[in-house]
Amino acid sequence: MKMREWLWGLMATALAAAYLLLMPGYLASERQELTLQSKQESGETFSGIITLWHIVGFKPYQGSLGTWLSDRASAFEKRHFGVFINITAMTPEEFEARLNRGERADAYSFPMGWGYAERFQPLPDVKAELLPALEGTGAQAGETYAVPYALSGYLLLSNSRLEQEKGISLSEETWRADLQDAVDTLTYTYGKKARQRYGMAGSELMAALLGLQCQVAPYDSFKGGGAALALGDIRDAGDMSRLQTAGKGFSYRAWPASSYTDLVQYLAVARDTEPVKLPYIEAYFELILRADHQASLLEQGLLPAVLLPEEKEAEADIVAAVQTALAEPQVPNAFLYQRYRDELFALAKRALDGDAAARVDLEARMKELVIQGEIQ
């Protein structure tokens, strides 16, 4: 009896060992077979990972554009079995460092000023009705290399307390005519240590385009109370509002500064991306540019790059104001802007210092860049 029990136990142990040894291989084989069958049934010609680097140049009123892209990627992946879009967000400096190390992605999301046409391959006709002012802004020498998909805009922000202390009260209707005087009045030294308070902080280029002649401090000076006015963007207003809600920060006002914007995000395909991946990248781009997905940008506080079939207003008041101001935006050609970016910034600095010739040159160059066309 004991011998029989021992034999049965031995057989059970052997069967269990065989199961543990053979079953993983069997399951892997079955999984591979199912994957192949599903791929064949889905009709996909490619399976694997497509890499997209999202270079962050500006941010929405709230949330993250990188997360928004990832959500669109998830929707895309549900339709394309075995195809995955891997999105990596990075600063422009990180982007350049990766390129210098010889790293590359299959596709890019980049802000104006950080993309050379030579890095990309021509795009086919994208199925999207872009805003008229954006047509051709991603083209060079008759070829489209990038397509815009999101916009932000510039704002004038004001520290209410510092305005009141100096008897300044800029109006949304007349602020342009009064801005230089306000900046002059709000530039002064204060305290026992004669600390400097600046009249303006933020974008030097925008300050020059508004015709100002002054020293422009970094934007953080405004956040810290060291500057009374600032030229920032939609995200800056969002950050200020969140500080106020948390009982921090200070009272401020904000309104659109211009119908001009170079805060535009583009999509492009790397020049050496494998051809088998191209149809999937193009399909992902078209999904991003679909009207319903574009409309969802307004919920985060960015503006769509396409014409929407139905009017939709942004939820945040300041974003809605920028939306109105940029109804017919003035937008540079992305690759011309890239080519002349350093020159523009240098001319802006000289114009702010009072160089009249530099101001004339800056205005002429901007007229050349803000076109509804392409580089010839």
Low-confidence ranges of the chain (pLDDT < 70): 1-42, 371-376
Has residue 227 been placed in a domain? yes
**Domain closes at, from 287, 310, 325:** 325
Q: What's the pLDDT score for residue 36?
A: 40
* CATH number of the domain residue 184 falls in: 3.40.190
Whether residues 162 and 282 share a domain: the answer is no
Same domain, 158 and 243: yes
Q: If you search the block for the tokens 């790059």, which residue do you land on?
A: 305
132 & 269 share domain:
yes
Domain count, the chain: 2
DSSP 370: B
> From residue 177, how far is each of 55, 142, 180, 182 by CA, in Å?
36, 41, 7, 10
Helix (H, G, I), strand (E, B) or coil at 255: strand
In a domain, 69, yes or no: yes
* 80 and 59 housed in the same domain: yes
Q: Verify that 88 and 130 share a domain, yes or no.
A: yes
Do 144 and 177 belong to one domain?
Answer: no
Cβ(187)–Cβ(215) below 8 Å: yes
Instruction: List, in sequence order, every residue forming a beta bridge with 201; answer none if it has no partner.
Output: 217, 230
In angstroms, rounded to a whole number, what is the distance separating the alpha carbons of residues 321 and 252? 16
pLDDT, residue 4, reads 55
Condensed to tens digits (0 to 9), the pLDDT of residues 335-373 reads 999 999 999 999 999 999 999 999 999 999 999 998 643
The strand pairing partners of 83, in sequence order, are: 48
d(CA 10, CA 14): 6
- What is the model's pLDDT at position 30? 43
* 78: containing domain: 48-151+262-325
What are the phi and psi torsion angles at 275 (to 5°)? -55, -35
Mark which of 197, 222, 256 sits at the end of a domain.
256
Using DSSP, state whether 111 is helix, strand or coil: strand
CA distance 90 to 278: 23
Same domain, 143 and 106: yes
CA distance 244 to 286: 39
Q: Is residue 2 part of a domain?
A: no
For residues 308 and 295, the answer to whether their CB atoms sit within 8 Å is yes
Q: What is the pLDDT of residue 27?
A: 40
Helix (H) or strand (E) holding 231: strand 227-233
Instruction: Report pLDDT for 75.
Output: 96
Rounded Cα gap, residues 69 and 52, in angstroms: 10
- How many whole angstroms separate alpha carbon 309 and alpha carbon 72? 20
Q: Decide which of 234, 256, 278 is a domain's last residue.
A: 256
Is 5 contained in some domain?
no
Contact 228/158 with Cβ under 8 angstroms?
Answer: yes
Residues 370 and 329: their CA atoms lie apart, in Å, by 10
The distance from CA 374 to its chain's CA centroid, rounded to whole angstroms, is 22
CA–CA distance, 240 with 317 (Å, rounded to integer): 14
Whole-number pLDDT of residue 281 = 97
Supply the CATH number for residue 319's domain.
3.40.190.10
